[in-house]
């Protein structure tokens, strides 16, 4: 859904959508596996900067929920993960804040996104929110044993006959010295 400046100048735009699985492209290792439900509203805010200089900001508020499929960080098996959350975002025209000199920005200014053209795509807003809502590390379960570093077998499914601890080759010279002292 495209949220246009022209439409926002006339009135606030409400949205309530259900996007089918796979509609929003995420990362190569991440797939939207459930229906993406979202609802909210978008409005145009006029920021007066003195004189006739008025900046048209777009404020998007809403809620989303979906299920994504990611890989377990330990065993690389597919893990379904439910995510969702609320958002309240402010988008400003690209380049409007560009200045000649570098300056520090306030904490509030770090929360501002930028748009180019005549509006924003709701799918782009949702993609960003999905990626931000993901946990830093996704595991299939806390007790996941992962993959064997030697043979690559999934240790949750089968055991391997690999040596438990491989000697670190960086310590080989000290091991030789220890054996000579015996």
| Residue whose pair of structure tokens reads 């200014």 in the numeric block | 109
pLDDT number for residue 114? 83
Tell me the C-alpha distance between 43 and 22, whole Å.
28
pLDDT number for residue 79? 92
pLDDT number for residue 100? 52
Which residue stretches of the chain have pLDDT < 50?
none
**Element at 124 (helix H, strand E):** helix 122-133
Of 30, 39, 60, 40, the C-alpha closest to 132 is: 30
pLDDT number for residue 28? 87
Per-residue CA distances from 180 to 164, 166, 167, 172 (Å)? 25, 21, 18, 12
pLDDT number for residue 148? 87
pLDDT number for residue 182? 77
pLDDT number for residue 110? 63
Tell me the C-alpha distance between 5 and 44, whole Å.
8
pTM: 0.73
Of 138, 126, 121, the C-alpha closest to 29 is: 138
Tell me the C-alpha distance between 114 and 93, whole Å.
6
| Residue whose pair of structure tokens reads 């606030």 in the numeric block | 12
Domain ranges of the chain: 2-133, 145-182
pLDDT number for residue 153? 87
pLDDT number for residue 104? 63
């Amino acid at each position: 859904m495209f949220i246009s400046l022209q439409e926002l100048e006339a009135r606030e735009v409400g949205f309530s959508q259900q996007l089918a699985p796979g509609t929003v492209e995420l990362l190569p290792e991440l797939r939207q596996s459930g229906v993406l439900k979202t609802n909210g509203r978008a409005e145009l805010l006029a920021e007066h900067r003195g004189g006739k200089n008025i900046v048209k900001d777009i404020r998007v508020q809403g809620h989303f929920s979906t299920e994504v499929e990611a890989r377990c960080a330990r065993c690389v098996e597919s893990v379904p993960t439910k995510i969702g959350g609320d958002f309240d975002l402010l988008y400003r025209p690209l380049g409007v804040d560009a200045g000649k000199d570098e300056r520090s920005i306030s904490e509030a200014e770090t929360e501002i996104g930028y748009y180019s053209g005549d509006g924003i795509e709701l799918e782009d807003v949702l993609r960003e929110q999905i990626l931000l809502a993901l946990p830093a590390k996704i595991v299939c379960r806390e007790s996941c044993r992962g993959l064997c570093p030697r043979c690559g077998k999934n240790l949750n499914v089968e055991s391997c006959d690999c040596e438990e601890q491989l000697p670190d080759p960086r310590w080989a010279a000290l091991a030789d010295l220890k054996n000579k002292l015996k």
